Amino acid sequence: MSAAVIADAGLSTAPPARIARLILDLGHASAEAAAVARDLATGVLTQIQALLADPATNLPAPLHGALAALGGALAEQTAGRATVAALDTPLARAWRAHPAGWRR
């Protein structure tokens, strides 16, 4: 198991539903790993907010909407004392086993 921050944002209610997802999985279930994952998520949120606030950013509407939704989901996860999930799901195990994933 590992400590992770997971932010999911639904982008469409019409089939097929699309999801913007950010997973920060450091591979360790410790208080230190949880703190680092939260710090990373906060940094990503700050970058998303800056990108969306910059008038020079010329993003297509769907991408702008996806970033805005993901930013909202991240804001919920990083506000105050957000819980960091112990990520031990079939998808997480498959990712770790995949050559591109974290081998553990």
Q: How far is CA 4 from CA 21, 49, 64, 90, in A?
A: 13, 21, 25, 15
Residue 100 lies in a domain: no
Residue 82 lies in a domain: yes
Give the model's pLDDT for residue 44. Answer: 92
Residue 86 lies in a domain: yes
Handedness of CA 64, 65, 67, 71 (dihedral sign): positive
Average pLDDT value for residue range 24-53: 86
Give the model's pLDDT for residue 86. Answer: 52
pTM of the predicted structure, to 2 decimals: 0.68
Give the model's pLDDT for residue 104. Answer: 42
Average pLDDT value for residue range 73-77: 82
Residue 98 lies in a domain: no
What is the total count of domains within the chain?
1
Residue 104 lies in a domain: no
Average pLDDT value for residue range 26-42: 83
Q: What angle do CA 64, 66, 88 make, to 5 degrees?
A: 150
